[in-house]
């Protein structure tokens, strides 16, 4: 699973990367070193054929759900079952998004210990993680928009840390992922582990285990980088 991440870019960085420098209108957005489920973060989606940025809550809540709190248990969607699961299948067909991240955190089991690692692109570019989004409204009609990160089996680099990893899209695949015209077969072809040689990782402080801690120092290396 992917249960923690970080986003150290700015709104201007996102506009340059995803909107061809068109101004973004996210409002107040603060980079974070410890992004946790139920928190807000920017996503990229296509509306009426044009890309837009929006801030959504991490943890997908289907429109038919009775309570918002269900989202805390649906932060990830497995690529292998995404087209069949009632919670995700409609969003997979109609509401796909990109979740920009600077990197994500995964825990390696070491005996009784769980060691946190920061995983990121080797060139430190923004990761384009495949996601789904949905709308949910409470009994008063107040709407909340939420998202889930799509995960797949780990590639060779990630496997020593954890058996799953987010689906990381190559830049050339982003349009196809967001487009309403892309068919199911082509979409499934994108839901694979990223190519070897793209990622790097290093162990970080266990202070990152608590979402109450949020400072860039949390991401500094502890010990050696993963070979």
Our answer to whether residue 2 is catalytic in this structure is yes
Catalytic residue among 2, 46, 97, 194: 2
In this structure, are residues 152 and 192 in contact, taking their beta carbons and an 8 Å threshold? Answer: yes
Q: Token match 């759900």: residue?
A: 65
Burial of 150 (0-12, 13-18, 19+ CB in 10 A): buried
In this structure, the chain runs to a length of 227
Catalytic residue among 46, 80, 97, 106: 106
Distance CA 227, CA 211 (A): 28
Q: Which residues are catalytic?
A: 2, 106
């Amino acid at each position: 699973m992917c249960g923690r991440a970080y986003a150290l870019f700015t709104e201007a960085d996102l506009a340059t990367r995803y909107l061809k420098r068109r101004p973004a209108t996210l409002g107040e957005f603060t980079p974070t070193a410890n992004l946790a489920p139920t928190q807000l973060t920017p996503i990229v989606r296509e509306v009426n054929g044009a890309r837009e940025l929006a801030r959504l809550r991490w943890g997908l809540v289907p429109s038919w759900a009775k309570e918002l709190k269900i989202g805390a248990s649906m932060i990830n969607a497995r690529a292998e079952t995404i087209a069949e699961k009632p919670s995700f299948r409609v969003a997979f067909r109609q509401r796909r998004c990109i979740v920009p991240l600077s990197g994500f955190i995964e825990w390696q089991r070491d005996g009784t210990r769980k060691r946190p690692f920061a995983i990121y692109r080797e060139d430190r570019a923004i990761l384009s993680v495949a996601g789904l989004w949905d709308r949910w409204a409470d009994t008063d009609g107040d709407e909340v928009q939420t998202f889930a990160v799509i995960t797949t089996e780990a590639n060779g680099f990630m496997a020593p840390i954890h058996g799953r990893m987010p689906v990381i899209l190559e830049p050339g695949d982003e349009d196809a992922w967001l487009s309403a015209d892309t068919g199911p077969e082509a979409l499934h072809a994108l839901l694979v582990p990223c190519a070897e040689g793209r990622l790097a990782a290093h162990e970080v402080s266990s202070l990152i285990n608590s979402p109450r801690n949020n400072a860039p120092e949390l991401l500094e290396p502890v010990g050696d980088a993963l070979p």
